[in-house]
Copies of this chain bind each other. A is one copy, B any other.
Amino acid sequence: MAAETHRRYVILAEGAFGELPSKTAMGVLRYGRDPVLAVIDSSRAGRSSSEWLGPEHDVPVVATLGEALLRRPTALLIGIAPQGGKIPPAWRAIIAAAIEAGLDIVSGLHEFISDDPEFSALAASHGVELIDHRRPPERQEVASGRAHRPGSHVILTVGSDCAIGKMTVALELRRAALDAGLSAVFVPTGQTGIMIEGWGASVDRVVSDFVNGTAEWLVERAEQMGDWIFVEGQGSIDHPAYSAVTLGLIHGATPHAMVLVHESGRLSHHGWEGEDGRGSPLKSVAQNIALYETVANAVAPSRVAAVALNTVALSEEEARAEIERIAEQTGLPVDDPYRFGPERLFAGLRAALEGEVTSPENLTEAHG
């Protein structure tokens, strides 16, 4: 059995690698600490993750579990986060075969692998672990109105949509803060972040009465680890299905500042592109800033202090022009921190935040 902290992964992303539902696969490939030996997706077999993630992430895509096993992995990681979080029925046979081949299973689905009678029986007989990273913490408490530790800067990424890069932006900003010699912490609030960082809580799996309280608690733990705290946001405040989780994070974390993540050119909420008559158009950057500041300030003072653009759909020239345009429109620091590096965006954020919120009086007012 593999040790908890060192697994050799094969990632299952059948039919989805490189697309939005495989954001868990992408996040672990980009930011995970343990090696990934192969990705399973028969529709993209023979290609490499470097096509999507750049030359520093050269992992082969293979067609079958059998091929992946030749590389001697110790765990199969479920690399998708589908809407609703069910185990895809077509994947059951692959998961079962992986268990029989002696692999641990690491999953972030809502439907827990370890609660499945077939999988848990198989795992017991083959001596492997089933790890459900989305299983909520035992702790279930409502928010208490805790004031932030003096000296901390709590920054929450918020988005104009789900699956738009909020985790990536938080991780990139944390890296910039560390590179600047500061003590900085990433707070995982979803399964991929937890897989990458080894702690956190999947707030969308927490009983709804305790979402705000769980977010407050995660920030409390982070404030014991460092000064610059980057909380991974979830969903979006105008998302028809996920807005409850988004608001609980905002009101529970009571961030000093928010970073708005927006994808240039995305027109509708992911999965709500208008088929079946349920279109749900994205709001503009300016509308999002106004909406997030209104809802955050309903509980504690906060503001959008920077905009992180996801410019994947644009050429480099177009991207730089769009960044300039949004910066002029909003008067805020704007950049694509994944494409152009997080340093400039973090410097802008730091300039906006330092000198603020350092006196205990201000902190007490945060819940006044």
* A interface residues, Cβ below 8 angstroms from B: 83-85, 110, 140-147, 203-209, 211-213, 237-245, 247-248, 251, 254, 272, 276-281, 283, 291, 294-295, 298-300, 364, 367-368
Tell me whether B299 and A145 are in contact (CB under 8 A). no
> Chain B nearest CB: distance from A360 CB in Å?
10
> Chain B nearest CB: distance from A145 CB in Å?
3
* With known contacts A110-B140, A244-B245, A251-B243, A204–B209 Cβ distance under 8 A: yes
12 other A-B residue contacts (CB within 8 Å) besides A209-B242, A247-B247: A145-B240, A205-B207, A205-B208, A207-B208, A213-B241, A237-B298, A241-B251, A243-B247, A243-B251, A277-B367, A280-B299, A291-B298
Query: Which residues of B are found within 8 Å of A146, using beta-carbon distances?
Result: 278
Query: Which residues of B are found within 8 Å of A144, using beta-carbon distances?
Result: 241, 278
> Chain B nearest CB: distance from A202 CB in Å?
9
Tell me whether A242 and B204 are in contact (CB under 8 A). no
Tell me whether A280 and B367 are in contact (CB under 8 A). yes
Q: For the complex formed by this chain, how many copies does it contain in all?
A: 2
- Bound Cα distance A276, B238 (Å): 33
> Chain B nearest CB: distance from A23 CB in Å?
15
Query: Which residues of B are found within 8 Å of A364, using beta-carbon distances?
Result: 277
Question: Which B residue's beta carbon lies closest to that of A214?
Answer: B208
Tell me whether B207 and A206 are in contact (CB under 8 A). yes
Query: Which residues of B are found within 8 Å of A272, using beta-carbon distances?
Result: 145
- Bound Cα distance A248, B212 (Å): 13
Tell me whether B203 and A208 are in contact (CB under 8 A). yes
> Chain B nearest CB: distance from A229 CB in Å?
19
> Chain B nearest CB: distance from A260 CB in Å?
15
Tell me whether A244 and B237 are in contact (CB under 8 A). no
16 inter-chain pairs at a CB distance below 8 angstroms, sorted by A residue, are: A142-B242, A146-B278, A205-B208, A206-B208, A207-B207, A207-B208, A208-B211, A209-B241, A212-B242, A243-B247, A243-B248, A244-B244, A244-B248, A279-B367, A280-B299, A291-B298
